[in-house]
Structure 1
Amino acid sequence: MRRKMRAPGNGNGLGLKGKRFGELVVLRPSRSGRAGAWVAQCDCGKQALVYDYLLKSGETTSCGCKTTRPAATGI
């Protein structure tokens, strides 16, 4: 009997639910249909669509509220 193979990181997602990554707390898998997409609540109050691999690598730690624009130089 053959078993169905699943894509890596494409499980039921219970491992990320409730975990904190920087300013974000993972709420639930996204209903967008995209593999690895999650809805997370930021400490600023906004919800954001984030990807599991970016959370795990540390590249995504907020909804974007902590992002600052670089100062203009050479003007």
Structure 2
Amino acid sequence: MDITKEILEIVNMTTELPQEDFDFILELLEHDEWGVAFETLCAAILEEGLPIAQETYTKLESLCHAMGMDKSDLLQIVPTQ
């Protein structure tokens, strides 16, 4: 699994992500900081109350599992119908 590619795909699916968060996540990925990029993405989704499609949530879940990340951040995100 190409983690950078997967995170970028999710970022691009999250159309209402603030530009500041988008830029910061890209910077983190440039430095191979995948875990921090993932946590930042989840935090932005939660803090901004961004709508997340079930497909995007499923990708987040898969990525979380592949990276061995704690699911606590992810459990607070509720996909839209």
Q: TM-score, structure 2 length as denominator?
A: 0.30
Structure showing the higher helix proportion among its residues: 2
Task: Mark the structure with the bigger radius of gyration.
Answer: 1
Q: TM-score, structure 1 length as denominator?
A: 0.31
Structure showing the higher strand proportion among its residues: 1
